[in-house]
Structure 1
Amino acid sequence: MARVIRFHEHGGPEVLRIEEADVPPPGVGQVQIRVKALGLNRAESMLRTGAYIETVENWPSGLGFEAAGEVAALGAGVEGLKVGDAVSVVPPPSQIEWPAYAELANFPQHLVVKHPATLSWEEAAATWMQYVTAYGALIDLAKLAAGDVVVITAASSSVGLAAIQIARMVGATPIAVTRTHAKRQALLEAGAAYVVASAEEDLEARLAEIAGPEGVRVVFDPIGGPIFTPLTAAMARGGILIEYGALSPEPTPFPLFTVLGKSLTLRGYLIHEITTDPARLAAAKAFVLKGLESGALKPIIDRSFAFDDIVAAHRHLESNQQFGKLVVTV
């Protein structure tokens, strides 16, 4: 028996329950982890409320994408790991099938990584969602390189901060977009070359001023909605806008004439494009591990909660007040 976090109906953070449950031994090719820390993601609150791309069909449901801990047991056929190894988890394709919110959890071996010993449990649990998401968009798809200008919206989120670090790592110029100037200094200290407050400045004009006549080649956005218009207006000919979320409740316009006139690419993107492709996943792991080992990539933790305080943790997750990653210690 182990303590797990589940919900029996859709709703607010209060529907999350800590319960005792049997955790089966790891199956063939699986690794069982004694969890030390969890990373929290917006996708988990969306699943809890019924607004996620996955649908709960069998109740109660577990949830959670990211965990770090010690190997507790190995399924048949697992090689390269041993009981007691410190590991962390690349997000699986389904948080319903592979829920991380538990004291003991099973994951497919190819998603379990021995992370650098310099990382704390909290940092390890905060690593893979943010860095693989940003890597897949910026490096794998957009081929971000030295000299490029990239606009990163929702820049104070964990993925936004990861994108800033990755842009710096490859020599690109990251422009952080945030709602107000309240987080301006923190974003500059996190590596942003420029910070634009979308609710306080003319976003299109400010981006044009920063990027100059060549424009912005890459935009990385999880918001959608009306912001599409100024973002695409500031883009360079042949530029690419990668959309990885839908945080805006407003309709997203399609800027047809701007897209045609500049030959722009507007592309939807999910992290699972990377994690379900063995070659691309191996490249992502190598890139992230190199960055962690060199210090170019370092998870920024906003706040840590205890396992018993998961309801409070989800309330804070939905407050949009955090700067970086929220984690839960087990």
Structure 2
Amino acid sequence: MPKVVRFHELGGPEVLKIEETATPQPGKGEVRLKVQAVGLNRAEAMFFHGNYLEQPKLPSLLGYEAAGVVEAVGPDVDRDWIGKQAAVVPSFSMNSYGLLAEEAVVPALALGEYPAKLSATEGAATWMQYLTAYGALIEIAQIRKDDFVLITAASSSVGLAAIQMVKAEGAVPITTTRTSVKKAELEALGADHVIATEEEDLVARVKEITGGKGARVIFDPVAGPFVEKLAEAAAQSGILIEYGSLSLAPTPLPLFTMFGNRMVIRAYTLFEITGDLAKLKDAKEYVYERLEDGRFQPKIAKTFPFAQTVEAYRYLESNAQVGKVVITVP
């Protein structure tokens, strides 16, 4: 019997259990994926802790992003999918589907092919990070050549995708990390500037780098009190895009700073892209093209076997990684 990861109560990674289950059968508009790799995301950790946008319905499945081979299709799904390699675009509720399993049913509309030159591990580290960055930087901010773009939590998979995207568009990535430990690696991965926020004055450094102008675009998943500093680092008529709340702390509205620099603070989630078929089509084409020609390259921080799922999420929560944590499935 295939195995699946479930949790029956909220808590840390230790609540995750590997259980046997019946082979899932795809329904209308669905496919069954023989899973080869699962990319881990902060969203899942927040989900089993009970801190995500939605509360899990217990017992709950887990997992947003996977790559594998389509082995069965449900009614009204093109049978040409059978036998194809595909990755899953996170575009659904984890209360409906969970991909951390040996076999998983997913909506056919959530499938996304990836270039054959990528491994399944890299395929599982593709859609969440690049589509998240695309929606904010290309769709909303419309970054352009020579823009200064401030990317916080830059060692995350989304942060690294944002660095690559900013560079590909001819703009200048300014990144942040808490200490200097990851500084050299971020520079090697394309960051033009790295600011260690626990060791340097963020606002002063951004102003120095930008010749006093500030960053036109700020891309932040942390929120909380640091938003006030980010607002001070924004350029006139700049935009701060918040795509997460990792701090789990109340986020103040820096109103007087906003009055002074006429900036915009914009909340954003990936579902703005995945919930619009036209936007999703454009986004997938944009990402696929750049994966194919090498401008984009997923960075894998560490892989874990399926049996070490708990250890994999503990590592994710340690913040030690630079890039994507991936679970490989036998």
TM-score, scaled to structure 2: 0.97
What secondary structure is seen at the aligned counterpart in 1 of 2:20? strand
Give the Å deviation of 1:230. 2.0
Give the Å deviation of 1:56. 2.0
What secondary structure is seen at the aligned counterpart in 1 of 2:318? coil
Moved more, 268-277 or 219-228: 219-228
What secondary structure is seen at the aligned counterpart in 1 of 2:43? helix
Structure-2 residue corresponding to 1:56: 56
Q: Give CA deviations for 1:138-183 in whole Å, capped at 9, x if unaligned.
A: 0011101111110000000111001000101111100011111111
Q: Give CA deviations for 1:220-243 in whole Å, capped at 9, x if unaligned.
A: 001112222221112111110000
Structure-2 residue corresponding to 1:6: 6
Contact 2:24–2:103 at 8 Å: present in 1 too? no
| Structure 1 residue identity aligned to 2:297 | K
Contact 1:92–1:98 at 8 Å: present in 2 too? no
Structure-2 residue corresponding to 1:199: 198
What is the aligned-residue identity percentage? 52
Structure-1 residue corresponding to 2:189: 190
Runs of 4+ in structure 1 off by over 6 angstroms are none
What secondary structure is seen at the aligned counterpart in 2 of 1:231? helix
Q: Give CA deviations for 1:46-101 in whole Å, capped at 9, x if unaligned.
A: 111111111123x3110110010001111222237332111101002212211011
Structure-2 residue corresponding to 1:32: 32
What does residue range 87-126 of structure 1 map to in structure 2 within 5 Å?
87-126=86-125
Partners in 2 of 1:56 and 1:226 — Cα distance? 27
Structure-2 residue corresponding to 1:317: 316
**Could you list the runs of 5+ residues in structure 2 that have no partner in the other structure?**
none
Partners in 2 of 1:243 and 1:82 — Cα distance? 36
Does 2:154 correspond to 1:155?
Answer: yes
Give the Å deviation of 1:254. 1.6
Q: Give CA deviations for 1:181-203 in whole Å, capped at 9, x if unaligned.
A: 11111001111010011000011
Partners in 2 of 1:204 and 1:328 — Cα distance? 38
What does residue range 259-274 of structure 1 map to in structure 2 within 5 Å?
259-274=258-273
Provide the aligned C-alpha RMSD in A.
1.2
Partners in 1 of 2:205 and 2:321 — Cα distance? 25
TM-score, scaled to structure 1: 0.97
Contact 1:221–1:241 at 8 Å: present in 2 too? yes
| Structure 2 residue identity aligned to 1:143 | Q
How many residue pairs end up in the alignment?
329
Structure-2 residue corresponding to 1:233: 232
Structure-2 residue corresponding to 1:65: 64
Structure-2 residue corresponding to 1:21: 21
Structure-1 residue corresponding to 2:76: 77
Q: Give CA deviations for 1:271-295 in whole Å, capped at 9, x if unaligned.
A: 0111011011111101110110011
Q: Give CA deviations for 1:90-145 in whole Å, capped at 9, x if unaligned.
A: 00221221101111111111210121101111100011111111111100111011
Partners in 1 of 2:77 and 2:244 — Cα distance? 34
Partners in 2 of 1:303 and 1:111 — Cα distance? 25
**Could you list the runs of 5+ residues in structure 1 that have no partner in the other structure?**
none
What secondary structure is seen at the aligned counterpart in 1 of 2:63? coil
What secondary structure is seen at the aligned counterpart in 2 of 1:156? coil
Structure-2 residue corresponding to 1:277: 276
Give the Å deviation of 1:24. 3.1
